[in-house]
Amino acid sequence: MVIHIYYGGRGVIDDPTRPVIERMQKVLEELRVNVVLYNLYEYKNTIPTLSQTVKDADGIILASTVEWFGMGGYMLQFLDACWQFGDKSRISEIYMMPVVIAKTYGERQVLADLSNAWETLGGRVLTGLSGYIDNPLDLEVNPDYISIVEAQAEKLYRGVNQREKVFPSSKKALTERVGTPNPLDLSVPEAEQLSKYVSDENYVRTQKEDIQELAVHFKGMLMSEDAGSEEEYIGDLKKAFKPSPDVSGTFAVSIEEKKNDLIIEVSGAKLDVRYDKADSCDVKMSMKRDVMEDIVSGRMSFQRAFMSGAMSSMQGDFALLNGLDKIFSFKSI
């Protein structure tokens, strides 16, 4: 997953928006998200070219503070460039979360303006974060503020990762009527050749069939490789086991690519790990293989997987789920 952060402030040291996006970036990187931060004030002479970077992202954050009359000029320039030069078809697939933290009045209006602008471009909008913070230091020491920002970052990750459904907007209809995408820059012979292929139904159908056949072939190869052996993760769990007298129970991990469940039985200092059908257990979890890889590699905890939505489902005692992170100490790689 790729998330771009576009910061539209002026980079002043007491801008409260900066510590917020820095903490969100840290949380997203812990979730193995590739985060790219663009400080628009550093690109003030080439802001129009940044509109081409949007299409490389799965989701973006538009972060701004409140200037004397609404959002800053750099952010307005960037949005203008997206309207004039951006790939509208690609923007329609991209989720945007607005973040506006201000030291003066008007943060909610700027938040609404950013949401309206992205909807007009045809993009998808997630509920944003706004607030009035007089002392930016509070954002780094106040546990309540830290919790709010971290939860917002996890919400962005979950929304993009699960392709959150949103109602269509009337602004999208406006875009389709008055926002015309830029034509391809093709020579006359190239345009004629492209038109010839596109108008040839047999050619197009053959290409689609070939692509579908290749997709099925490679999907089968990946499924075969991803299934792994019935010994996978058992050694990792035994090696990382650190017994705790207050954690005991039976845990079942249903890994999407495997036939049997990964059963983890803990009783004090005793540990039994095997693949089997889960008849009864205290905690039942479901996840994909790459999520389990992140856990045993130390890049994510069981609790973080549940809170971020990477774990598709969890049933049972939540306190026991937290206990798993206590008795398994995986080293980050």
Q: How confident is the model at residue 140 (pLDDT cuts 50, 70, 90)?
A: confident
CA 104 – CA 97 distance, rounded (Å): 21
Query: What's the CA dihedral at 28, 29, 34, 36 to 10 degrees?
Result: 80
Task: Give the Cα-Cα-Cα angle 220, 312, 60 (nearest 5 degrees).
Answer: 90
What are the tens digits of pLDDT across the range 171-195? Answer: 666 656 665 545 455 554 554 455 4
Q: Which residue has the tokens 């949005």?
A: 79
> Could you state, in order of their start, the residue ranges of all structural domains in the chain?
2-173, 188-227, 234-327
The class that CATH gives domain 234-327 is alpha beta
Mean pLDDT is lowest, of 79-93, 165-179, 319-333, for: 165-179
Please state the φ and ψ torsions of residue 310, each to the nearest 5 degrees: -65, -30
Q: Cα–Cα distance between 70 and 43 in angstroms, integer? A: 21
Longest dimension (CA), the chain: 76
Give every CB contact of residue 61 below 8 A, 6+ residues apart in sequence. 3, 4, 5, 6, 21, 24, 96, 97, 98, 99, 156
Candidates 3.40.50.360, 3.40.630.10, 3.90.226.10, 3.40.30.10; CATH matching 2-173: 3.40.50.360
Q: How many CA atoms lie within 13 A of 253 on its CB side?
A: 28
Report phi then psi at 11, rounded to 5. Answer: 80, 15
Compute the mean pLDDT over every residue in the chain, rounded to the nearest whole number. Answer: 84
**Residue of 210 and 77 predicted with greater confidence:** 77
Please, are residues 113 and 71 in contact by the beta-carbon 8 Å criterion? yes
The strand pair at 270-276 and 261-267 is best described as antiparallel
Is residue 61 predicted with pLDDT exceeding 90?
A: yes
pLDDT, mean of residues 228-240: 83
Question: What is the Cα–Cα distance from 24 to 40, expressed in whole angstroms?
Answer: 18
* Cα–Cα distance, 211 to 206 (Å, whole number): 9
| Cα 125 to Cα 102: distance, rounded to the nearest angstrom | 21
Kindly tell me if the per-residue pLDDT of 286 is higher than 50. yes
- E-strand ranges in the chain read 2-7, 34-39, 59-64, 66-67, 70-71, 95-102, 124-125, 129-132, 248-255, 261-267, 270-276, 283-287, 313-316
For residue 264, is pLDDT > 90? yes
pLDDT tens per residue across span 90-132: 998 999 999 999 988 889 999 999 999 998 888 899 999 999 9
